[in-house]
Structures are given as structure tokens and as C-alpha cells.
Amino acid sequence: MSFEASTSLAEQIADYIGQQIITGQLKDHERIQEQKFAKQLEVSRGSVREALLILEARHLIDIIPRRGAVVSALTIQHVENFYEVVIVLYVLLAQKVATIWKDDDLKPFMEMAREMRELVANKDQKEFFSMTFKFGQKANPLVKNTYLEEILVNLAPVALRTRHVADTVNQYSMEESLEFNNNIIDGVRDRNMDVIKKVVVDYYTKQRDLVIAAIRESEASAVEVS
Amino acid sequence: MSFEASTSLAEQIADYIGQQIITGQLKDHERIQEQKFAKQLEVSRGSVREALLILEARHLIDIIPRRGAVVSALTIQHVENFYEVVIVLYVLLAQKVATIWKDDDLKPFMEMAREMRELVANKDQKEFFSMTFKFGQKANPLVKNTYLEEILVNLAPVALRTRHVADTVNQYSMEESLEFNNNIIDGVRDRNMDVIKKVVVDYYTKQRDLVIAAIRESEASAVEVS
């Protein structure tokens, strides 16, 4: 059996197509043309098909019988549902870190928060954006819950996509991220479960509302144009 | 593109192999022989390989580079991690039903609880076992959260597997299930979020402890034998 080679190629193709969905280059309901990507990336259609299954598991595309793959719509309903789930999982992850950390376990998080502060000073939004997600991922090797980790890995692309949408209508996105990092580190360090819950709920509820506002705005401008 | 046909065959193969893992016929670390199943089920090795990817997503097997697929170990650590995640998700699901139900929405649950009471009277453990899981699944079409639903679908096989293990050391499993159903229906009907949380946490914490006890027992008897 040789899963690793084919999986890693499919993963790369999935990342490539996924990035276009996350950044909005591929839009809601847009058809993903298997043959086009196979040709463009010089890979087999089988590999693209495998990548599409990965993207489906990551909630970025829908595979519709007899129609093929299309970009999943990010409706207000989807956004509400998504935040409902990730909020409880992020609370669980952070509370778990708070329960188990010892010695220097929190040092990498503090170090990362410091680096992110510098990125804000340098207005390096792109690097900051990618680091935001590494911050959360750092918790997984500490918590060692493979079920939770896999769920969060599968939800991460939608988290990137919604964050991308929220940032289009939020000029203080980086500053608020920084504040969130500091607050969550404090709560985890103090092992204060109520603080952790409140910090996560407040931050992501606000982010959710921004995403919804952005979707409403783009719907309104679409109506104006038509 | 023709995903549906191949997916459904792979799903069937995954269900077939999965059932053997859930019921303990295939044991921890046991090798899943691709060729054996392909021959036995008269399907291509490609279809079996696709089924293995489904089983991996459902946490029943691990695919190890250059070694192939093996049955995931159900260690105490796995069991603790699993219940940690499903408990918060089941609470979310039940509280969501409590928030949104109207009119006759709860009727199918009450009907099902009644049928299950009859199955207990008739000591039909097998049908009861399968119905336990349909009870929870009935909440999904009501809640309509595709993210949550997919996560729960992927966790369901491990839930079946752990429940199967718990039942080996619990002679009151059906009666306790019934009581759980009634309590959760009451909490949901009264929209009492605290009751719902307590009922879910208590029931699944007890189930988790039974699974852990069963694993300890089988480890102890393995040591005795060797």
C-alpha cells in the first residue's frame, strides 16, 4: 500500500484549490473543473478527484451527483452554524491547555504573541494572518486529543475563509487578534475557565457578526448592480 | 464525474469492515488486508483503498506509511479524549434542539422512546442498540447544522465501538439508556439548558468509566494469560 505519496499530492492540489476558495478568487457555487485543474497542475484527473474529496471533508466544496464539484456557499446560515461549533471546540481546546500545562509549556505561545506584535508594528498583514492559525494549532501537540485535532484540522479552511471575509470589513482585525491572544494566554496561565470561555465566546461572536455584515453588504451591492 | 457510484460502494465496504471493528471481531492493531477484503467481497483493491480512507476519517483505522492499515487502538487515553469531545458536541446538539423546537418537533423522539421501552420489555438488545443511535441522529435534520452533523457522523463509529465495549461490563445498559432518553426529552421540552448539560455529562461520563473499566479488565486478563 502506498497512501503517503498519493495523499500528499492530493493534499497539495487540495491546498492549491482551497487557497483560491479561502481568498475568494473562486466564488460561491462556482464549478470546480476537474479537467482544468488537472491540465493546469499537470496531474492526473484521479489526483484532482482525490483532492476534491479532501476539500469536501474540509467543507469548502460540495460534490453534487451528476453535476460535479462546486464551491460551498457561505450563507449566513452556514456562518452561524460554523461559529456555533467552533466556539465550543475552541473553548474545549483552551480549557484543556489550561488544565494540563506545566513548566514552560506556555512559552511558545507567549513567544508567538510577541512575534505577532512585531508583525502588526510592521503592518505585515499576510504573515500575521497565517500566524493567527499557527497560534491555535500549537495547542494540539500539548493537548494530544487526536479526535479534537482532526475535527479542527477539517474546520480550519472554513475558519480561514470566514476570517478572510471578516477582515474585509474590519480595519482593527490585527489589533483585536493581538488582544485576543493576550487575553487567552492570561486566562490559560491563571487556569481561569470562566475567563477563557468569555474571551473565546466574545471574540468569535464578534468575528461571526462581522462575517454576516460582510455577506449582507455584498448581497446588497449585488442587488444594486443587477 | 461520477462520485456517487464509487463512494457508495466504498461506503458499503467501509461499513462492512467497520462493523467488524465495532463489534471487536477485528482487534486493536490488527492488520486490515486490502487484498483479502477485495477477494472476499469481490471488489477492486481501489475500492477497498477508498473504503480505508473513509474508515480512517471515522477513526477506526490508522494508515501507516509502508505498513498499511491497522485497527486503531482503543486505549484509555483514546477513550478519555473521545468522550471529552463528544460530550460537548452532544450538549450543543441537545441544547440547540431545546432552543429551536416548536409544535410537534419532539413527537418523533417521544415515539422512539416508547418503541425503545418495548424493545427492553422484549429484551431485543440488538435492535435497541441500533435504535439508540438513531435517536441522536434524529436531531440533525431539526438542527440543520451541516458542520456539526458531519463531525458527529464521523465520530459515530467510535461511539458505537465504545458503547459496545461498555455494554460488555454493564448489565443495566438498556435501562440506563431509556432513563437517559426520558431525562433528555424532559430537559429539551422544558428548554432547561442546565438540566440538558447535566444529563448528558452524567450519562456519558458513566459510560466512559465503564469503557475504561472494561479495557483495564481485558488488559488484566491478558496479563494473566501470558
Does the structure show a pLDDT above 50 at B4? no
Q: What is the pTM of this model?
A: 0.90
Q: Over chain B, what is the mean pLDDT? A: 92
Contact B84 A158 (CB under 8 A): no
Does the structure show a pLDDT above 80 at B99? yes
Write phi, then psi, for B23 (nearest 5 degrees).
-90, 0
**Mean of pLDDT values over B208-219:** 94
Give me the pLDDT at residue B133, please. 86
Which residue of chain A has the CA closest to B65? A4
Give me the pLDDT at residue A7, please. 62
Which grid coordinates belong to B187?
Answer: 430537559
pLDDT, one tens digit per residue, over B139-194 is 999 999 999 999 999 999 999 999 999 999 998 899 999 999 999 999 999 999 99
Per-residue pLDDT band for B6 (boundaries 50, 70, 90) equals: low
**Mean of pLDDT values over B7-31:** 92
Residue with cell 464521523: B154
Contact B148 A59 (CB under 8 A): no
Return the closest-CA partner of residue A57 out of A158, A142, A125.
A158
Go through B174-204 and write b for each residue having 16 or more CB atoms within 10 A of its CB, e for each that does not.
Answer: beebbebbebbbebbeeeeeebbbebbeebb
> Which neighbouring-strand residues pair with A64?
A68
> What spatial distance separates the first Cα and last Cα of chain B, rounded to whole Å?
53
Percentage of residues of chain B with pLDDT beyond 70: 96
More confident residue, A225 or B215: B215
C-alpha distances in angstroms, A168 versus A79, A162, A171?
15, 10, 8
Q: Span A9-71: which CATH code? A: 1.10.10.10
Give me the pLDDT at residue A171, please. 87
Percentage of residues of chain A with pLDDT beyond 70: 96
Neighboring chain B residues of A49 at a CB cutoff of 8 Å:
1, 3
Does the structure show a pLDDT above 80 at A26? yes
Contact A65 B3 (CB under 8 A): yes
Using DSSP, state whether A31 is helix, strand or coil: strand
Q: Over chain A, what is the mean pLDDT? A: 92
**Mean of pLDDT values over A91-103:** 97
Give the start-to-end residue ranges of the domains of chain B. 9-71, 76-225
Return the closest-CA partner of residue A218 out of A37, A54, A27.
A27
Which residue of chain B has the CA closest to A93? B85
pLDDT, one tens digit per residue, over A136-156 is 889 999 999 999 999 999 999
Test the A interface: residue of B34, B85, B162, B197 with most A CBs within 10 Å: B85
More confident residue, A198 or A221: A198
B76-225, what's its fold? Four Helix Bundle (Hemerythrin (Met), subunit A) (1.20.120)
Does the structure show a pLDDT above 60 at B34? yes
